[in-house]
Structures are given as structure tokens and as C-alpha cells.
Amino acid sequence: MSSGFDYDLVIIGAGVGGHGAALHAAHYGLKTAIIEAGDMGGTCVNRGCIPSKALLAASGKVRELRNAHHLKSLGIEIGGVSFEREAIANHANNLVSKIQGDLTNSLKRLGVDIIRGWGKIAGSQKVSVMTDSGDKTITAQNIILSPGSVPFVPPGIEIDGKTVFTSDQGVKLESLPQWIAIIGSGYIGLEFSDVYTALGCEVTMIEALDVLMPGFDRDIAKLAERVLITPRDIETKVGIYAKRVIPGSPVVIELADFQTKEDLEVLEVDACLVATGRIPATKNLGLESVGVELDKRNFIPVNDSMEVLSSGELVPNLYAIGDANGKMMLAHAASAQGIIAVENILGKNKTVDYRSIPAAAFTHPEVSYVGLTETAAQELGLAEGFEIGTAKSYFKGNSKALAENEADGIAKVIYRSDTGEVLGVHIFGAHASDLIHEASAAVANRQSVKDLAYLVHAHPTLSEVLDEAYKRAIAS
Ligand SMILES: Cc1cc2nc3c(=O)[nH]c(=O)nc-3n(C[C@H](O)[C@H](O)[C@H](O)COP(=O)(O)OP(=O)(O)OC[C@H]3O[C@@H](n4cnc5c(N)ncnc54)[C@H](O)[C@@H]3O)c2cc1C
Ligand SMILES: NC(=O)c1ccc[n+]([C@@H]2O[C@H](COP(=O)([O-])OP(=O)(O)OC[C@H]3O[C@@H](n4cnc5c(N)ncnc54)[C@H](O)[C@@H]3O)[C@@H](O)[C@H]2O)c1
């Protein structure tokens, strides 16, 4: 594509964002290099999506097979179910190695140069890399930054990696503490509480805000709490934060009221998982050499074309994708942003449609959503002058869910009352992470419940839950 540069494109960070961008660029014939200082595949492959889903898969089976009541209702009786912690941990570790290898090979196959070392911007269209064999500078027509994120550890919490740890260590499942405190009831807190309770640990979940799962739609969070938290060995402390956490045996946790900051009680537990969000890994990237300042939360400012901004102005030939720009901290969002960045490099004007990107928590059962929550849709309606409608349908009215005896679940559709356009869909129930994609396509195409209600779904399938919700929307 370009001449006079070492590469058409240099990407800093080989997580899923950088990988997605590199594959797309190589496919279009761009001479591409990717720089990685740590593990190929970044957070998702090594410390995130992949190992956590392997743990959820194995522990989910244990939960299912130990649920004698559920099995009996299907006419099945089995003897005792046992598992080996180490073997489950190995399943996760082996999957990480396999996917890391596949990802690296996919880059090599397409001719992407992999450079190991710390990459930094060294001025316009220039990158320096600190490698084991010394520093080198390379030039590139375009640069994409994809340095990702790291766990956020609130002040007062000390991590030793053994008794007090983040998901970075948690995914290794090096122990199964009898009693574990989990700080945070977001994605990581929920998924790990699912793993730990399935494997017989007692959990105390501590959430600073005044509700559990504050990021989820309220109707969904309420039902999820009734199924995922209340009947399990989980004690909850809401509106409370961990002021101090001291590792050791026992782990000492000083709790305080989040509003008043008044000291409440001291817990002594066997271990503590800190799942209080993630922060961008944007230090020491050389951004000052091109006049870029991070925003207040240390994210790299970008527009919807993934172009980096400096005081609101475009910085030529520089893009930032993935967790580091803070738009949507999800693996598939990172790679989608990588593809959009490359499309713009290729001169096609494209932007990311965040509203149609789905998300899921892989608990048993799962939670998923796409688009706006009811509260956000109401706010948009007020600002733009339209009313919103909501329609709900329940897994307990779905034949397939009843056949499986998996009837805990709900689908909720939020739409514009005037046009019927779908603004958001939220699902809690079996296979919610797969069911959401039909809704995601509807949001992407700005479809109306007035049309969606006439699509024919196979019977009996769980996807009829959405069919029913769309039909209820036009009936109301
Ligand atoms: C426990 C857990 C479970 C998760 N589960 C899911 C899930 O199920 N689904 C989902 O969608 N998302 C999930 N996520 C989120 C997902 O992992 C992230 O959104 C995703 O990894 C972001 O990708 P990225 O490419 O932006 O950054 P990262 O994956 O963090 O990759 C960035 C890479 O850049 C490298 N790097 C940084 N700076 C430099 C530099 N200067 N030079 C060279 N290399 C550098 C880092 O070493 C790293 O390898 C999970 C996260 C966690 C922690
Ligand atoms: N299935 C998935 O897609 C998946 C799974 C895991 C992680 N992730 C990604 O990783 C990111 C990080 O996950 P996470 O669960 O750590 O963050 P999160 O933002 O989802 O949840 C963090 C929770 O911790 C609470 N909190 C923060 N500080 C606290 C304190 N001092 N005391 C008590 N509670 C406190 C917050 O109120 C919030 O509810 C997510 O935003 C998500 O993007 C995605």
C-alpha cells in the first residue's frame, strides 16, 4: 500500500483487539507487524474469557450432575459426583495453550510479523520497541494501539496473589477456599461465584453500590439474584465496601458503609477475589510524543472510527481500539473495533455501532443483553421525544425450556412505542448467550417489533421466547 515505510500498519498489543485488526489488515494485503510484550492473545485468551469459560463449563457440569432434584424430575438418578480441582484447572490451562497457539499461528500464516517487546510511539508514524536484543525503531504508515487493560484494585486492598487475588490469578484455580469473599458483583464477581459455589465453596459477595449487579437491567438483575444468588451458598453485603483487605490466613477484611464511610464489621475469610473493574493499560506508550493526552480515567480518547483525538482534533494515522479506549470492555467489541480501524485505514468510512454489540455473563443460567436498558431507553426517549414500550416473556411458558426443566428465565424487549424499533433486549435463562444474537441482528438493522413479531421460529425451541416477547409487544 504505502512506500517509504517499514510497514503499512504496526499494531501495539496482540490481544483479541490487535489480533482482529491484524487479520483484517493482512487479508487486505497491508504489510503488518504486531508488537507484544507479554503473552500472545492478551487478557481474553490467557487470563479472561477463555480460562474463565473453561472453569464455568466444568463447574457447570458438576452443578448439573449434583442437582439430584433436577435430575430426578427428568427421571434420572445417579450416584455421587466427584471432581478434581487440579484436573479442572488443567482443562483451563490446556485450552489457553491451545488457543494461544492457534492465534499465533493464524498471524504467522497470513504473514504478519510478530515482534516481541515493549512498543511505544516515538513520534508521528514511528514506533520504538524494546526487545531482548536491544531497542529498535520502525516506521509505519498507520499505527493501531491495542494495549488493553489490567484489574483495578481499590486503595486499601493488598494483593498477594495467593489469599487475596484478582481474576488474573483466579482463573488458575490454584485452590478452592472453603469461604471466599468476592468484592464486586459485576461480570467477574458473578461468573466466579458461579464457579466457586458449584465446586462447594461458601461465598460472601460485597457490592459497594446499593444493588447487586448494578450494570444490568433491573428486571433481569432481580430475577438473576433470585436464581443465581439467593438459593446458593452466597451471603451478600450490599452498599458496603471493603475498606482494607489484608492477605494471610485468615484474610482480614474491614467493611464500611459505602455512603457514610462508617466502619461496620471485620470479616475473616479463607480467601478474597477482588473483582472491582478494570483500568486501561495506557502508561508508557509514548503518547506525549504525538501530543495526545489520556482522558480523566486514563483511556485513550477516540471517535467512533477509532481515530485517536488530541483536544478533540484527529491525530493523523493513529488509532486506538479495545479495552484501552474504554468504549466497551469486551473481547468481540475489541476485535470489531480493530476491523473498523483497518476499514478506515483502507479509506472506507466506517463506524462502530455499539448499540448492536451483545454481551453475556456465562453463569448457569446465563445473562445476556444487547442495546439499551429500560432506564437508558427512557432517558433517550425523553431527550428525543418518544415513548418507550416493554414486553416480557417467560421461559416457564416455553415448551423447550419446560422439556429441559430449565424454566427459570425471562426475555425483555424494549422498543419505541411509535415506530416499534427495538432499542434493547435482555435475556436471563438457559442459553441466553446464544439467544441474544437474533436480537442483536434486529438492533443492528433497526428493525421494528411490528415486523419481528411475524418471523417464524422453529418449534419447540428456546428462541420462541423472543418470538413470544415480540408478539406481546405488538399486542400491547
Ligand atoms: C476474567 C475475565 C473474563 C472475561 N470474559 C470475557 C468474556 O467472556 N467475553 C468477552 O467478550 N470479554 C471478556 N473479558 C474481557 C476481555 O478479556 C477484554 O475485553 C479483551 O481481552 C480486550 O482485548 P484488548 O485487545 O483490548 O486487550 P488485551 O486482551 O488486554 O490485550 C492487550 C495486549 O497488549 C499488550 N501490551 C500492552 N501494552 C503494550 C506495549 N506497550 N507493547 C507491547 N505490548 C503491549 C499486553 O501484554 C496484552 O497482551 C473478560 C475479562 C476478564 C478479566
Ligand atoms: N462475560 C463477559 O463478557 C465478561 C466476563 C468477565 C469480565 N468481563 C469484562 O471485564 C470487566 C471487568 O469485570 P468486573 O466484574 O471486574 O467489573 P464490573 O465493572 O463488571 O463490576 C465491578 C463491580 O464492582 C463494584 N465495586 C467497585 N469497587 C468496589 C469496592 N471497593 N467494593 C465493593 N464493590 C466494588 C462495582 O460497583 C461493580 O458492581 C467488565 O467490565 C467486562 O467488560 C466480561
Of 456, 465, 460, 455, the closest CA to residue 430 belongs to 465
Q: Whose CA is nearest to atom 28 of ligand 2?
A: 276
Is 275's C-beta closer than 6 angstroms to any atom of ligand 1?
no
- By annotation, the residues acting in catalysis are 459
Q: What DSSP designation does 228 have?
A: I
Cα angle value 167/169/174 (rounded, 5°)? 125
Q: Whose CA is nearest to atom 44 of ligand 2?
A: 187
Q: Cα–Cα distance between 55 and 454 in angstroms, integer?
A: 39
**Per DSSP, what are the bridge partners of residue 129?**
119, 136
| Ligand 1 pocket test, candidate residues 43, 47, 95, most atoms within 8 A of CB | 43
Is 38's C-beta closer than 6 angstroms to any atom of ligand 1?
yes
Atom of ligand 2 nearest to the CA of 215: 39
Is 186's C-beta closer than 6 angstroms to any atom of ligand 1?
no
- Judged by its nearest atom, the ligand closest to the C-alpha of residue 332 is 1
Q: Residue 3 has what pLDDT?
A: 72
Q: Cα–Cα distance between 422 and 452 in angstroms, integer?
A: 9
Atom of ligand 2 nearest to the CA of 213: 39
Contact between 32 and 9 (Cβ < 8 Å): yes
Q: Cα–Cα distance between 277 and 186 in angstroms, integer?
A: 8
Q: Whose CA is nearest to atom 9 of ligand 1?
A: 49
Is 152's C-beta closer than 6 angstroms to any atom of ligand 1?
no
Pairing of strands 422-429, 410-416: antiparallel
Atom of ligand 1 nearest to the CA of 49: 5
154 CA from centroid of ligand 2 (Å): 12
- Judged by its nearest atom, the ligand closest to the C-alpha of residue 48 is 1
pLDDT tens, N- to C-terminus, the chain (476 residues):
557 999 999 999 999 999 999 999 999 999 999 999 999 999 999 999 999 999 999 999 999 999 999 999 999 999 999 999 999 999 999 999 999 999 999 999 999 999 999 999 999 999 999 999 999 999 999 999 999 999 999 999 999 999 999 999 999 999 999 999 999 999 999 999 999 999 999 999 999 999 999 999 999 999 999 999 999 999 999 999 999 999 999 999 999 999 999 999 999 999 999 999 999 999 999 999 999 999 999 999 999 999 999 999 999 999 999 999 999 999 999 999 999 999 999 999 999 999 999 999 999 999 999 999 999 999 999 999 999 999 999 999 999 999 999 999 999 999 999 999 999 999 999 999 999 999 999 999 999 999 999 999 999 999 999 999 999 999 97
CA-CA distances (angstroms) from residue 286 to 18, 39, 117, 290, 325? 18, 21, 14, 8, 16
User: Cell digits for 159?
Assistant: 494483593
Q: Cα–Cα distance between 388 and 413 in angstroms, integer?
A: 10
Is 357's C-beta closer than 6 angstroms to any atom of ligand 1?
no
Atom of ligand 2 nearest to the CA of 359: 3
- Is the interface score ipTM higher than 0.95? yes
Q: Cα–Cα distance between 152 and 323 in angstroms, integer?
A: 13
Rg of the chain in Å (alpha carbons): 24
| Ligand 2 pocket test, candidate residues 56, 188, 330, most atoms within 8 A of CB | 188
Atom of ligand 1 nearest to the CA of 42: 49
Is 18's C-beta closer than 6 angstroms to any atom of ligand 1?
yes
